[in-house]
Chains A and B, each alone.
Chain A
Amino acid sequence: MAMTKRYMVTMKRSCSCSMPGVWCAVAHNEGAVVIFHSPKACGHVTRVMELGSHYYSVSRQRFIPKQYTAPLITSNLQEEHSIFGGTDQLRHCIDYVVERYNPNYIMIANSCVAGVIGDDTQAIACDAERNWDRPVMTVPCSGFLDGEYYAGFYHAAKMLTDRLMDQQPTLANTVTLLGDRGGPHGADAQEIQQLLAFFGLRVHCHFPGYASLEEIRRVPASALCIPLGGGRSQSSFSMQQLATDIHVRFGIPFLNHKYPVGWQGITSWIRKLGEQLGKEREAELAVIEQNARLQRQVAQCRANMQAIKAVICIGRPLIHFQPEWVIELLELAGVSLDGIVLFDGLTLEQKAAMRQELKNLTAVSILEEDEGVAVIEAADILVTTHELEDETKRQFFLPVLPPLGVGGMIELLNKLSRLARRSGRQGGVLYGW
């Protein structure tokens, strides 16, 4: 029997667009203007996405008013440009943007339309830069072609690195955080800063987002770069790549390690950092303190989770979902894991890769969707990558990017605990972000 899931789509091909990635990389960088070489609608779609992030931060009391937001201009490609090309349109658009906003720099993102037409955006950007005597940059991605969200994000950051940074004398004990993860006021950045404090390190730059020109130029003075991303996802690859680029260009070391997600991940991250800095004692102290912080929460959580039977339901391929931290979290919470169900939305190859990964982590039965109906029926809680339409079941919806550090684990444990205390009859979904 097939179960009805919300938004269950087999991810066979690209699943996002590079343009919002470019936008997010520089949207709050003072003096920046972003041009989408695209139909106007692409700008609107990105703006609506940004609006969701705005209310997300408002709801968590993390919103900071009066932050700079770059103007987002679209070149307004229309049907006629598919015949005659859109380069003149883009050229005029850049001229207008410089006259109207006098930006420090312009970042151009290309749409799939521009990609199909074959506009040479790079050449237009070079001409405009000569004419207007300021950086006009573009990325080698076209909408969903040639890369997705994180490709846009990475290439925008790479461009800022290549064009705006110069070698600087190193400032001792300074760190640049690479990536976004909710910005400098987000929970993840706060969590990382707390961990860095154990080693006497302070964050002096966030890059590429929320950085003024002055801050961007300060990045090469960092003593260390720390990429923020998540698991084996594209965000992880792209930020590791950015850290490598900065290392090659300026010789700044970076922490080349899996992210501090889950307790094993956190301890391993802390120890790796300690080893890299030659501060193993500080690392052990950090592990002890973080463990104490975690155990206080675990004790409370276990009390609420006793006798709770859970099933993990997976519909995301391995690149978008790493089960290791989830299985660990459920063990910590004292939950009885009664089975793992692989949803039919996964392809055969994706299922095989996931099975292999799961077998290395647990002896719990791994079931196909049609085999899993009974175990799902009997479970108290579903820990799932996709919502089931049947909301009589209590469901814990897993985030694509798990929150970092012990703070992130505590947040998830609290949510699991709240879900367990929710009346079984109430059912419903609790989102893990």
Chain B
Amino acid sequence: MAGKKEWDNVCTQVNTCALTGAAAFFAGIPDAAIVANGPLWCYFYALRYVEKSCAGVAKRFFGTQPDNNAVVYGTEECLLETLVSIRQSTRPSVLLIENSCSVSLIGDDIAGIAAQAAMPYPVVCMDSGGLTGGFWEGYRAAAKAYFAVMPLEKRSIVQPCTVNLLGCSVSYYNAANDLRELKRLLELAGYKVLACPGAGSSTAEIAAMTQAELNLVIHAELGLMLAQDLQQQYGIPYLSLPPPYGLAGSLDWLNAIGQALPPGSNGLQAVQQEADKLHQRLRTTTREMQRLWGEPWFERSLVAAPSSVAFALAQALRSEWIATGSLTVVLHDGAAAYPTPACIDSVLDGQNDSQAIADQLANLAPGLLLASSQEKALLQQQAVTEVVCQNISLPVHDEIILHDRPFMGFLGSCHMTERLWNQYMNSCQWGR
């Protein structure tokens, strides 16, 4: 029987549909509009998912609602109807038409229908249902399709000390705050960020991204392939590093960038000064608490998130934030583009190791869980208590974030230390 693991129990997995992933990339372009050429159910699911981190996207995200007849005779009628309505009500710079899985099987000439509708802006057409994969596959395919239709400016001017950030998504947990911190750190170090395709940059900003000296891949599972394509097509070099978590982790990240692209003036010195100041503050505050509460210690820790987040955050957790016995990492997307850090004891494939994940969760107490509401629900279903939980990835159903504090970077390190310490002290007082 070929690849038994492919029939793993999805109840322990975290993923969604390629339709959602593709929509997430275009949702991150503020002047783009999206049409899901598929059932209302699939459209609403994708909309609700993306909307949680991209408020207001409903005004530029539409669905065509094909019915049984459309599956036989094609979606031309309902798609045209939707396109006419969009043409009358909005004026985006680019439009994505993405087919759901069943619609993709019909073989409609989507580009032809779009041409018939005479949309006065570029239209990107793609199949993006579950047949093509999950969130990450959809995001990557949408990025590729976008750059195929929306050519960049020729790389005739290159501005010194400029970078683009690739592989960021508004649909990662706390992504907007993380992105702000990354830009702040890079600017402090003497770099200027030109564009973040799929994470806030307009079509005009993306078109000018060829002026950057370097493409920085933040989440490899989303942006590495794009970086390779852009290097091949436009000659923009790239650097793919695990994202910066922790003070030391963030310094390492900036130093690695500095080696590839030396910053001007005293950038790295300014960064080091800020890191030293924050380190001093962290030590003073946590030592004071340690006198009363002892050192936070977790017999077992489990970190579950998209691979880039999971690896980099687990490293910061063990080397900077708290002390733990065994440390297991679950990669929501299944596999990582980076080598496994030495500090991690075991790595589980979030798409294929359902039984091992269930076992790890069942035996986690007394421990620490840095994951999503999905893993926390599995703990609750198994009545596992004595676990300190902290959300670091989607889906999240049991926490709201209204502040602007990141998880990444220097400020993120302070924030995570604060959260972990407060959770630890709470658990001492009220039980876990």
Chain A residues near B (Cβ < 8 Å): 6-7, 9, 11-17, 38-48, 50-52, 54-55, 58, 63, 65-67, 69, 71-79, 82, 92-93, 95-97, 100, 111-113, 115-117, 143-146
Contacts and interface: CB of A to CB of B under 8 A. Distances in A.
B130 A66 contact: no
B362 to A, nearest CB: 11
B315 interface: no
16 contacts: A7-B58, A17-B41, A38-B130, A39-B129, A41-B15, A48-B45, A51-B397, A55-B398, A72-B11, A75-B7, A79-B132, A82-B105, A93-B7, A111-B102, A112-B39, A117-B105
Contact of B10 (A47, A52, A55, A113): A47
Contacts of A48: 16, 45, 49, 395
B15 A113 contact: no
Interface residues of B, number: 52
Contacts of B65: 9, 12-14
B4 A9 contact: no
A112 B99 CA distance: 13
A72 B42 CA distance: 19
Contacts of B397: 51-52, 54-55
Contacts of B45: 45, 48
Given A58-B380, A116-B105, A69 B11 contact: yes
Given A39-B101, A46-B10, A51-B397, 18 more contacts: A15-B41, A16-B41, A40-B15, A41-B101, A41-B129, A41-B130, A44-B14, A44-B16, A47-B13, A48-B16, A58-B380, A65-B381, A69-B11, A77-B130, A93-B7, A113-B102, A113-B130, A113-B131
Given A9-B63, A41-B18, A45-B17, A14 B380 contact: no
Contact of B66 (A9, A13, A75): A13
B106 interface: yes
A7 B2 CA distance: 43
Nearest to B63: A9
B330 to A, nearest CB: 15
A45 B67 contact: no
Contacts of A15: 40-41
Contacts of A112: 39, 71, 100-102
Contact of A74 (B10, B66, B67, B71): B10
Contacts of A75: 7
Interface of B: 1-2, 4, 6-11, 13-19, 39-42, 44-45, 47, 49, 58, 63, 65-68, 71, 100-102, 105-106, 129-134, 373-374, 377, 380-383, 395, 397-398
B335 to A, nearest CB: 15
B92 to A, nearest CB: 18
Contacts of B100: 112
A368 B19 CA distance: 35
Contacts of A93: 7
B10 A43 contact: yes
A63 B132 contact: no
A14 B66 CA distance: 8
Given A11-B40, A14-B67, A41-B134, A76 B380 contact: no
A65 B6 contact: no
B383 to A, nearest CB: 4
Contacts of B382: 65-66
A7 B58 CA distance: 7
A7 B56 CA distance: 11
B6 A76 contact: yes
A116 to B, nearest CB: 5
A116 B17 contact: no
Contacts of A144: 39-42, 102
Contact of B373 (A9, A46, A55): A55
A58 B389 CA distance: 16
Nearest to A145: B68
Nearest to A33: B9
Nearest to B9: A71
Given A66-B381, A79-B131, A14 B40 contact: yes
B133 A41 contact: yes
A115 B44 CA distance: 21
Given A54-B377, A58-B380, A44 B13 contact: yes
B105 A73 contact: no
A66 B382 CA distance: 5
A6 to B, nearest CB: 7
A185 B235 CA distance: 61
Contacts of B19: 41
Nearest to B132: A79
B11 A47 contact: yes
Contacts of B374: 47, 51
B40 A9 contact: yes
Contacts of B40: 9, 11, 13-16, 144
Contacts of A43: 10
A55 B400 CA distance: 14
A45 B134 CA distance: 10
Nearest to A97: B7
